[in-house]
Amino acid sequence: MTSAPQFNKTFPVSWEELHRNSRALAWRLLDLGPWRSVIAVTRGGLVPAAIVARELDVRLVDTICIASYDDREQGPVQVLKTASGDGADHLIIDDLVDTGRTAEVVRRMLPKAHFATVYAKPKGRPLVDTFITEVSQDTWILFPWDIEPQFAPPIANARGTRR
Q: Which of 83, 106, 91 is nearest to 33 (CA)?
A: 91
Measured CA to CA, the distance from residue 40 to residue 46 in angstroms comes to 5
Measured CA to CA, the distance from residue 121 to residue 105 in angstroms comes to 17
pTM of the model: 0.85
Asked whether the beta carbons of 45 and 95 are under 8 A apart, the reply is: yes
- Which of the residues are catalytic? 94-95, 98
Kindly state the helix (H) or strand (E) to which residue 17 belongs, with its residue range.
helix 15-29
Q: Domain segments of the chain: what residues?
A: 9-159
Q: Per residue of the chain (163 residues), what is the pLDDT tens digit?
A: 444 456 778 899 999 999 999 999 999 999 999 999 999 999 999 999 999 999 999 999 999 999 886 656 667 888 999 999 999 999 999 999 999 999 999 999 999 999 999 999 999 999 999 999 999 999 999 999 998 888 878 888 766 655 5
Neighbours of 64 (CB within 10 A): 22
CATH class of 9-159: alpha beta
Secondary structure letter of residue 57 according to DSSP:
T
